[in-house]
Amino acid sequence: MRIKNLLVPAFCALSVAFALPVQAQDSGAGDDPVVARVGGEDILQSEVLALAQNLPPQQQSQIALIFPQLIEQVIDLRLVGKAGRDAGLADDEEVRERVMRAESQIISQIYVLREIEAQVTDEKIRAEYDKFVTENPPQKEIRARHILVEEEDQAKNLIVELDGGADFAALAGEHSTGPSGSQGGDLGFFGEGQMVPEFSEAAFAMEAGQHSKEPVKTQFGWHVIKVEESRLGEQPAFEDMEADLRSELSRGAYQDIVAKLREGAEIEIVTPDAEETAPATEGTSESTSEGTSQ
C-alpha cells in the first residue's frame, strides 16, 4: 500500500505526457517489449520505465518489485487520456496553449542537447584532461611520523633519546598524546599544506630518514617529527575526471550557444510598474480614505 501511494505524485506529473496515444514502435530484437495493451494499443516497457524515472531514488532501486504497479499506473494514464480526448479536450484552448508551451520547451531542450553533443566530443574531453595534467604536475608527498606532547622540555628530551638511537615508533607509542600514537605516530602520506602550517613547513624541510632537531610548536602542542619517505603524488586518472570534465565543458558550451543566439536577437525587457506588481495588503489607500471620510 505504501509503494502504491508513492506512485500517485508520479501519476499526476506524467498525466499530460501520457495522455496522448503512443504509437506502437518496432520492438526490434525485443529490447522494448510490449507489457500491456489498452483498447488494442500497445504499452511498451520503455513507457513504464519512464514513469519510474519520476520516483525517488529509493523506489527506483526497487523497480523489479514495483514494476507491476507501474504498469497499472500507465494503464490508468492511457484510460484518463482517452477519456479526455473523448470529452473533446484535444481541441480545448487551454490544452492547446499548454501543448504549445510544452512543445517549445522540448524543442529548446533537444536543440541544446544536440548542440552540446556536437561540441563536447570525446576528443575535446581527452584534450582537456591532457591540459589539466600538464598544468598540474604531480606534487611531492611525504610519509611522516610524529610524537605529540604537551611540554617543550618533554619534546626536547625525546629528541635526545632519538639522537641516541631510540626507536621513533616505540617512543610515539609510549609518549604521544595524539590519536596516531597507537600506530607509532604514523600519519601516512600527505601533501604540502595538508597539515597545519608550522607542522607542514618543518616536515617538508627535512629529508627522508631525518627527525626534527628542535620541537615544533602548533596549536595542538609540541611535536617531534620524523620523515620516513617521500614520493611524487599520483595524478588523477582520466576515468576519474571524465564525468566532471564533460559536465564542465557542457556548461561552457551552453553558455556559448546562448551568447551567440543573443548576439543576433532583438531583445526588449519590459519592466512593469511597481504599483502593478506590488502585492495587495490590508489597509490600502482606498480603504483608508473611506475610513477617514466616515
In whole angstroms, give the CA distance from residue 198 to residue 116.
Answer: 47
Q: What percent of the chain has pLDDT over 70?
A: 83
Q: Which long-range contacts (CB under 8 A, 24 or more apart) does 120-123 make?
A: 120/246, 120/249, 120/250, 120/253
* Residues 22-64 pLDDT 10s: 333 344 446 899 999 999 999 999 999 988 888 888 888 888 8
Match 611535536 to its residue by C-alpha cell.
223
Match 627535512 to its residue by C-alpha cell.
206
Give CA torsion, residues 176, 179, 182, 187, to 10 deg: -90
Helix (H) or strand (E) holding 226: strand 221-232
Q: Are 245 and 146 in contact (CB under 8 A)?
A: no
Q: Is the pLDDT of residue 11 over 60?
A: no
In whole angstroms, give the CA distance from residue 258 to residue 68.
Answer: 43
Count CB neighbours of 251 within 10 A.
12
Count CB neighbours of 58 within 10 A.
8
The mean per-residue pLDDT over the stretch 84-111 comes to 95
Q: Is the pLDDT of residue 201 over 60?
A: yes
> Which range has highest mean pLDDT (14-28, 47-61, 120-134)?
120-134
> Which pLDDT belongs to residue 293?
39
pLDDT band at 264 (very low <50, low <70, confident <90, very high): confident
> Which pLDDT belongs to residue 217?
97
The mean per-residue pLDDT over the stretch 186-214 comes to 96
Pick 140-232's CATH classification: 1.20.1600.10, 3.40.50.2300, 3.30.450.20, 3.10.50.40: 3.10.50.40
3-state helix, strand, coil in the chain (%, to 5): 55, 15, 30
pLDDT band at 109 (very low <50, low <70, confident <90, very high): very high
Q: What is the mean pLDDT of the chain?
A: 86
The mean per-residue pLDDT over the stretch 239-265 comes to 95
The mean per-residue pLDDT over the stretch 173-181 comes to 95
The mean per-residue pLDDT over the stretch 224-250 comes to 96
> Which pLDDT belongs to residue 51?
87
CA distances from 85 to 13, 23, 39, 78, 80 (A): 18, 16, 14, 11, 9
Q: Where are the domains of the chain?
A: 2-87, 140-232
Query: Under DSSP, is residue 254 helix (H, G, I), strand (E, B) or coil?
Result: helix
> Which pLDDT belongs to residue 282?
52
> Which range has highest mean pLDDT (56-65, 109-118, 259-268)?
109-118
The mean per-residue pLDDT over the stretch 62-68 comes to 89
In whole angstroms, give the CA distance from residue 257 to residue 112.
Answer: 8
